[in-house]
């Protein structure tokens, strides 16, 4: 990788990945792609080049790729799981139509493409213990459907056109840099934001429910490892290993009422 474009650079992963890659490859070699209304700020804006890149506009993507001589694209544009379920048409437009645009530009310009997948691509019928790499994937959410399609479409472009496509199936990612944005596991971060504000927070899942999560620095390391090593083709050869997290009640339940000290009446026996 010499010249990198990150589409969705101001999002949850992109905001931290952009800075991490700039440290590795030099500030001027990593372009932060964003859409109007989600402009880079602070160090992200000041440390390197940025360009408007709407993933639903193939011509715009191609123009930026040519201008900055991009050889690697990190396609991070997507709606998170909860938002995707409430806006399924938009989720498909961004996640799949957008991916198609990125892959077409990559095919024409000779770029490598990384697009994150998710354990949301699995489903209720997927084996829950020691889940195989290649297994049943029948998700029942639009987010999961787009991630399965992402994997298949990326694989198609590799087999059909030789485009270097890669992905990692991430669990929920925990970060303190960006505020919660509609992910299934965002409650684990939202809890602390609410506490700082002095607000009450009601966990959306039952106590003891296990949900896989990963700390952002570990996610970035997993991502980097899957886009750098030789041979080039390492598409979905492993899942990022998460930690299982489950919520626990932190407010003690009300103490039970004290038992009356009055003697109980004797039991009445029924007889013939």
Cβ atoms of 36 and 78 within 8 Å: the answer is: no
In DSSP terms, which residues pair with 174 in a beta bridge? 215
144: confidence class by pLDDT, cuts 50, 70, 90: very high
What local confidence, expressed as pLDDT, does residue 120 receive? 84
Give the distance, in angstroms, between the CA of residue 138 and the centroid of all CA atoms in the same chain: 19
Instruction: Give bridge partners of residue 75 from the DSSP assignment.
Output: 7
Cβ contacts of 211 within 8 Å, gap of 6 or more: 171, 172, 184, 185, 188, 205, 244, 245, 246
pLDDT exceeds cutoff 50 at 61:
yes
Across the range 114-133, mean pLDDT stands at 86
Q: State mean pLDDT over 218-234.
A: 66
pLDDT score for 272: 38
Q: Which of 74, 143, 157, 187 is catalytic?
A: 143
Spatial distance between the Cα atoms of 122 and 148, rounded to a whole number of angstroms: 8
Helix (H) or strand (E) holding 20: helix 14-25
Region of poorest pLDDT, from 11-15, 37-41, 61-65: 11-15
- In the annotation, is 224 catalytic? no
Whole-structure pTM value: 0.78
Over 80: is that where the pLDDT of 237 sits?
no
């Amino acid at each position: 990788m010499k010249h990198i474009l990150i589409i969705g650079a101001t999002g949850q992963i992109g905001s931290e990945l952009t800075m991490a890659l700039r440290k590795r490859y030099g500030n001027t070699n990593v372009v932060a792609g964003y859409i109007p209304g989600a402009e880079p700020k602070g160090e992200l804006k000041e440390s390197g080049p940025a360009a408007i890149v709407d993933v639903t506009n193939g011509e715009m993507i191609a123009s930026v790729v040519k201008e900055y001589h991009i050889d690697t694209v990190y396609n991070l544009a997507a709606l998170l799981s909860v938002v995707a379920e409430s806006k399924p048409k938009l989720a498909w437009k961004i996640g799949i139509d957008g991916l198609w645009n990125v892959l077409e530009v990559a095919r024409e310009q000779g770029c490598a493409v990384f697009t994150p997948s998710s354990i949301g691509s699995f489903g209720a019928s997927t084996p829950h213990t020691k889940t195989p790499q290649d297994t049943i994937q029948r998700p029942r959410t639009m987010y999961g459907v787009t991630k399965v399609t992402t994997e298949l479409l990326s694989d198609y472009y590799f087999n059909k056109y030789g485009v270097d496509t890669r992905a990692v199936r991430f669990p929920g990612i925990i970060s303190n840099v960006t505020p919660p944005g509609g992910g299934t596991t965002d409650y684990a971060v939202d809890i602390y934001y609410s506490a700082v504000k002095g607000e009450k927070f009601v966990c959306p899942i039952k106590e003891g429910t296990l949900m896989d999560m990963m700390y952002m620095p570990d996610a970035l390391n997993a991502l980097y490892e899957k886009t750098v090593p030789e041979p080039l083709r390492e598409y979905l050869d492993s899942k990022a290993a998460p930690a299982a997290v489950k919520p626990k009640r932190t407010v003690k339940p009300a103490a039970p009422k004290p038992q009356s000290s009055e003697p109980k009446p004797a039991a009445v026996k029924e007889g013939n």
